[in-house]
Structure 1
Amino acid sequence: MSRIKIKINIPRWLLDATIVFFIACLITASLYFVFEKKYQDKIYPGVWIGEINLGGKTVEQAKSLINEEINNINRSGITFYYEKNKAPIMPTIISTESDFAYQIINFDSEKSVDQAYNLGRDKDFFSNLNNKINCLIRKRAISLSFSMNEEEIKKILIENFSEFEIPAENAKLILKEQNNQFFVNGETLGKIINYEKALELLKINLSKLNSSPIQLSTETDYPEIYKKDCLNIEAKAKNILSLAPITLIFEDNKWEVDKEQLAQWLSLKIKSEAKNQDLVNIGLNKNIVEQFLKEKIAPDIDQEPINAKFEIKDGRVAEFQASRDGIKLKIEDSFEKINYKLTNYSFDETKENKIELVVKDLKSSVNTNDVNSLGINEIIGIGESNFSGSPQNRRHNIKTGADSLNGALIKPDEEFSINSALGEIDAESGYLPELVIKGNKTIPEYGGGLCQIGTTIFRAALSSGLPITQRRSHSYRVSYYEPAGTDATIYSPWPDMRFINDTGSHILIQSRIEGDNLYFDFWGTKDGRVVEKTEPTIYNIVKPGPTKYIETLDLPVGKEKCTERAHNGADAYFDYKVTYAGGEVKEEKISSHYIPWQEVCLIGVEKLSEEEKINGDEQTTGTNNEDNKTEEETEE
């Protein structure tokens, strides 16, 4: 049987095309291999943060470049200016004690560089390929990762520039003393600084590592209440005034509000539901009434709850402070009730015009009866720190803070917060102030020295093997807390130092001061856990910049007031290991980053230096251009 041979004629052009295709694929694959090999441990080309080209850099090289720019911003700050007036915003609020410095802008170079490195690596193959090609043909902008305390920054701007604002004034209700008649005074327009816009510009600049000065802009401030809308107001005001005197009561206490006082409380209000063009109504001035309640009545009513406190006496737990429930005037609720009663004439005609104030009961969280079931037998951990060289105010605050925590009881499974336990940090609580520098002003703030408390409690919690849930190192290395890496900064409400009592028993805090040493002893019941901690490793030492001089009007002319000596910046870490009785092991590397602390000196001047001429190409004017896009926007 003969075979049939089939001959397939392949067009020459198809054969040539196939060969070209395979050669192109081979070349492409080779180029892709070479490209991947070249950037194996490096950031892909075309990736930028601000004006820094990170393409071709290793992660460590990129971090070094970014940190250098961050350090420049930390040293110089961001200047805000309005006309010839300027104020620098420093990422770290500077005090005459480095211990009391705290950050309001915190940069995260590690997160930003990791994001840059992962561009083209962290998605599926085709998405990564697309990102790599885009990196080769156009600039890819990555936003610098940072966090900032907007409320505090706005507060500093207001403190430095509010004197140049003229707020609008609403139409006002005025009482003529001569004839006891009401009339409405007209409104006025105002001019205010747009602080929200300034904060947005700051965010844009920081995301691009841009430290250019930011010009504050103003806008017209319009009143809410106009005289033309005030109809029948005088008659309504007389009707409310006729209700005086009124009596505010709580239990057996009474406070009388006479006609003169009530007249001062009256003000114009926008109606929530306007009818027949009747846009404005009469009501009580919330600020004035609440201030009256706070200053004249609350001190007679308010009683803070007191937790029972205990001490170790003759080897046994004994009470030294009994518990007591508290009570507090609800100021806002009381105002709403007073306002409603007066504006709605809601009184019983057969009785005096009395208004019962609104209060709330406050329960103590640690009761005296707890002493019988504490199960406290022994010391489970000790924290120690040294504060030699501290000035008088700082020593006073350390003792005040230590005394306030002495005898505090932590329940099983409770998360302990130092800020919450310390409570209000002010003159009434016995604390003394320290000067902090905000813009061009030096302002007294309370709390200097309390980081000694935070650090020592942190060390006691570590010694006890307790899980740390919140902890932040200081911005700068502080001599009181050496070795570096074992400190904890606190500043209400944040940063805080927190840990959890997971021992299954109560923990009793006992404080003691011996010479220049502060101790916190944690008493409880040992559960067999074993704590291991290495000595801190300190590396990446960075020298501080030259002394920074800040002009101030708050010191006599020519007088200088300087902080403690300068300190090197550094990174530090130590290994922390807890082995539980059941064999479970928890290991953690606790890291800290310290920026260089330059010596800062305040120098008294008669007049602040005028703003240097700023190049128009460098100043921020708020133009919304393509460069302002975030990495997410440019990646689309």
Structure 2
Amino acid sequence: MLHLFQKKSIIKWPLIIIAIFFIIILLIIGIYFIFEKKFAARIYPGVFIANIDMSGKTKEQAQSLLNQKIDQIKQNGIIFQHEQLKAILFPVISSVEGDLAYQIIRFDAENNIQQAFNVGREKNLKENLKEKYQTWKFKKIFPLTFHTNDEEISNFIIEKFNKFKKPSQNAKLAHNNSEYLDSIKFNIEEEQYGQVINYKDGLDQLKQNLSVLNESPIELSIDSRGPEIIKSECIDIEEKAKNILAKTPLNLEYNKYIWTINFRILKDWLILKVNPKATSTEDKIIVGLDTEKVKEVLLNLISSEIDQEPLNAKFEIKNGRVIEFQDSRDGRKLKIEETIKKIEDELIFNGNKNIELVIQELKSELHTEDINDFGIKEIIGTGHSNFSGSPENRRHNIKTGANAVNGALIKPGEEFSLIKTLGDINKETGYLPELVIKDNKTIPEYGGGLCQIGTTVFRATIKSGLPVTLRRNHSYRVSYYEPAGTDATIYDPWPDYRFINDTKNHILIQTRIEGDDIYFDFWGTRDGRKIKITDPVISNITKPEPTKIIETLDLPVGTKKCTEHAHNGADAYFDYTVTYTDNTEKYERFTSHYVPWREVCLLGVEKLSTATSSEELLRETVE
């Protein structure tokens, strides 16, 4: 009997082990499903954006947390310093009239949040499990996504730390400025050594700091600069310069036209250059042409007579009919850089004095005879905004911008660019300036009011059910564009506003201004698509900081000039759904984040407060 009992006991153990194994498997599966359920709408553990732990955060929570950090940088700015001098760079340039404020550092928080949320979700089951485990164990850190206006930031650094600049100078070709060709004598002036602020390293450090949300001051360095051309390497240069001058007059030709360059002009074009084809020290330095001086002559005397922009045919709706109000015309353009190179090659190296200008022929895209094929029958969508309270300059610019867009035709499948359609935005094209605040000065810039155009075109786009390919909201809430979340900012050259005509017919844009209201009508052919646009949802209202007072010598003593009144910050979104005739749907949520608008005022003073930096010239006050 004992023997039989032991045998039965031995038989039960494998079953127990198998049962335990399956229980463990079920527990693991259960834990996994509980884990997945918990993180179904949350970022997995171990995911960081810069130095912010996003573990367990929903997209909305992560967005709010990241925006707080970004807003802090926008409000406080970034400090550059060298020795005792400090200067603060603010990511957003303020304006006296709020809608010309623009960003020189643009953060892309939405992209970062999507990157973080996608961890452990974009691959197959095995790869996702592996990525989630590695992220939990070792962390996954995404650098902050942003875009910088490198030119403007570089100019800021150079201007603020200009006192440390001592330019180096190449050895220079000079002449006695004689009025007679035979009496002109050339000589070589000595080179000079110098130093410059290393703005490139400063810009690189700024990008590195921002990528990890490091707000530490950026220490700039000084670089010594030696000249490229030294006098001791200039061999027989004086004689070579005289031989080139002897070839005058120089004839620049296009068709039957000839522009003559005499020796009095050419002598000032001649400079020393490093020869890229040098084979010995004797021909290392050559006589070449001063690109800027040649460009000045080409622009002022020649291109103004040659250049002709192509014109597309433009149309308008009158009495229900499409009629032309601008005929099409081909154009041409003097290619400045190519022409300068050709002049230098032909004159200096080949000894030719008769030189054909380099001209580019430009074809118009839309022609009058195409009108019958356009399929323009009815209004497919209308955008509207109100600009009551706008000053005269802004009203003028809105009308000028509306006229520039009026009559524009968009081909089927074409991406419409508002910046391209507006063209040059300056005094010559009829715009009036608006003041922007940079440091302790107001500087006139053109383009105030054009965001009214951008916003109205955006609203017309979604009312027409068209896909938006590029849209940015303003940095701050601007009263002209309420309700929040339905605006679109533009600034030449960036940001642009763009959309695609995905209908099978042309779209004609018609603009109209009625009192303080502006309308953009999109004419085309309805194709049965259905459009649903929800009302904007506004949240996360945040109060602005106290008014910032900046002392300036540009205003009369005691005079104060301020930006638009302060506005609360906020987040906003609305949903946009287009249902096509084949029942396919396209859904997009347009989100907007607005930094609290802090009023900035310039105060005229007789003398700036004693300060070693722009940081110390800022005073805050509650009004």
Calculate the TM-score normalised by the size of structure 2: 0.86
Task: State the secondary structure of the residue aligned to 2:549.
Answer: strand
Q: Mind listing any 5+ residue stretches in structure 1 that lack a counterpart?
A: 8-18, 348-352, 615-636
Partner of 2:72: 72
Letter of the structure 1 residue corresponding to residue 499 of structure 2: F
Letter in 2 for 1:222: G
SS in 1 for 2:235: coil
Q: Structure 2 vs 1, CA of residues 55 and 416 (structure 1 numbering), >3 Å: closer, same or farther?
A: closer
User: Whole-Å Cα distance in 2 between the matches of residues 130 and 345 of structure 1?
Assistant: 66
SS of the equivalent of 2:380 reads strand
Matched position secondary structure for 1:567: coil
Query: Deviations for 1:573-620, whole angstroms, at most 9, x for unmatched residues?
Result: 112122223333322222222111111112234336523699xxxxxx
Q: Secondary structure at the match of 1:603?
A: strand
Q: Count matched residues.
A: 587
Aligned residue type for 2:305: D
Q: 1:216 aligns with which of 210, 213, 220?
A: 220
Contact 2:440 2:602 in 1 (8 A): no
User: For residues 533 and 59 of structure 2, what CA distance do their matches in structure 1 show?
Assistant: 29
1:238 aligns with 2:242: yes
Identical-residue share of aligned pairs (%) = 55
Alpha-carbon separation, structure 2, partners of 1:75 and 1:412 = 44
Aligned to 2:174: 174
- When the two chains are superposed, the root-mean-square deviation of aligned CA atoms in Å is 3.2
Contact in 2 for aligned 1:538/1:571 (Cα 8 Å)? yes
Q: Is 1:39–1:56's contact at 8 Å kept on the other side of the alignment?
A: no
In the alignment, is the contact (CA less than 8 A) between 2:47 and 2:135 conserved in 1?
no
Per mean C-alpha deviation after superposition, the further-off stretch among 548-557 and 362-371 is 548-557
What amino acid is aligned across from residue 374 of structure 1 in structure 2?
F
Kindly indicate whether the alpha-carbon contact (under 8 Å) linking 2:172 and 2:189 is maintained by their aligned counterparts in 1: yes
Q: Within the alignment, does 1:323 sit opposite 2:328 as a pair?
A: yes
Change over 3 Å in CA distance of 1:516–1:261 after alignment to 2: same
Distance 1:288 1:163, change over 3 A: farther
User: Structure 2 vs 1, CA of residues 509 and 563 (structure 1 numbering), >3 Å: closer, same or farther?
Assistant: same
Deviates more, 1:374-383 or 1:100-109: 100-109
Residue 202 of structure 1 corresponds to: 206
Alignment of 1:296 onto 2:297 = no
Q: Is the 2:86–2:614 Cα contact (8 Å) retained in structure 1?
A: no
How is 1:17-416 mapped onto 2 (pairs within 5 angstroms)?
41=39, 61-112=61-112, 124-126=128-130, 128-134=132-138, 143-162=143-162, 164-177=164-177, 179-278=183-282, 279-347=284-352, 353-416=353-416
| Gap change, CA 1:250 and 1:546, over 3 Å in 2 | same
SS at match of 2:574: strand
Instruction: Work out the CA distance in 2 between the residues paired with 1:448 and 1:223.
Output: 43
By how many angstroms is 1:46 displaced?
7.4
> Does the aligned pair in 2 maintain the 1:552–1:608 contact within 8 Å?
no
| Offset, 1:234 | 0.7
Determine if contact 2:46/2:136 at 8 Å carries over to the other structure.
no
Provide closer, same or farther for how the CA distance between residues 579 and 177 of structure 1 changes in structure 2, counting only shifts above 3 A.
Answer: closer
CA offsets 1:157-212 (integer angstroms, 9 cap, x no match): 23433454222111110112365211111111111111111111111221232223
For 2:60 and 2:577, locate their aligned partners in 1 and report how far apart those are by CA, in whole Å.
28
Change (3 A) 1:287 1:407: same
Partner SS, residue 499 of structure 1: strand
CA distance in 1, matches of 2:347, 2:118: 64
Correspondence for 1:579: 579
User: Per the alignment, in what secondary structure is the counterpart of residue 586 of structure 1?
Assistant: strand
The TM-score with structure 1 as length reference comes to 0.85
Question: Corresponding residue for 2:619?
Answer: none
CA contact (8 A) 1:88 1:440 kept: no
Quick one: distance in 1 between partners of 2:511 and 2:43? 51
Q: Contact 2:94/2:563 (CA < 8 Å) preserved in 1? A: no
In 1: Cα distance, 2:323 partner to 2:609 partner:
59
**Deviation of the 1:405 alpha carbon:** 1.1
Q: Partner amino acid for 1:592?
A: S
Find the counterpart in structure 2 of residue 476 from structure 1. 476
Segments of 5+ residues of structure 2 without an aligned counterpart are 8-16, 616-623
CA distance in 2, matches of 1:487, 1:50: 29
Distance 1:318 1:119, change over 3 A: closer
Distance 1:498 1:53, change over 3 A: closer
In the alignment, is the contact (CA less than 8 A) between 2:91 and 2:106 conserved in 1? yes
Q: Is the 8 A contact 2:533 2:574 kept in 1?
A: yes
SS at match of 2:567: coil
Paired AA for residue 225 in structure 2: D
SS in structure 2 of the partner of residue 273 of structure 1: coil
- Residue 561 of structure 1 corresponds to 561
Following the alignment from structure 2 to structure 1, what is the Cα–Cα distance between the partners of residues 344 and 252?
Answer: 12
Contact 2:541/2:571 (8 A) holds in 1: yes
Shift of the 223–561 alpha-carbon distance from structure 1 to 2, 3 Å rule, reads same
Cα 1:380/1:143, change in 2 over 3 Å: closer
In 2, Cα distance between the equivalents of 1:59 and 1:510?
A: 40
Quickly say closer, same or farther: Cα 1:163–1:316, change in 2 above 3 A. farther
- After superposition, the C-alpha distances for 1:371-410 in whole angstroms (9 at most, x for unaligned) are 2332222111111110001111111110000011111111
For 1:289, give the aligned amino acid: V
Contact 2:44 2:120 (8 Å CA) reproduced: yes
Greater CA drift, 111-120 or 488-497: 111-120
2:437 and 2:443 in contact (8 A); partners too? yes
In 2, Cα distance between equivalents of 1:267 and 1:89? 38
Task: Work out whether 1:515 is the aligned partner of 2:515.
Answer: yes
CA displacement, residues 474-500 of structure 1 (integer Å, 9 cap, x when unaligned): 111111011111111111222111111
Secondary structure (helix, strand or coil) at the match of 1:383 reads: strand
Q: Is the 8 A contact 2:557 2:603 kept in 1?
A: yes
In structure 2, how many angstroms separate the alpha carbons of the residues matched to 1:524 and 1:54? 47
Q: Point out the more displaced range, 52-61 or 438-447.
A: 52-61
Corresponding residue of 1:534: 534
Distance change (3 Å), C-alpha of 1:334 and 1:120: closer
One-letter code aligned to 2:343: I
Shift in CA distance, 184/479, structure 1 to aligned 2, threshold 3 Å: same
Do the aligned residues in 1 keep the contact of 2:46 with 2:135 (CA within 8 Å)? no
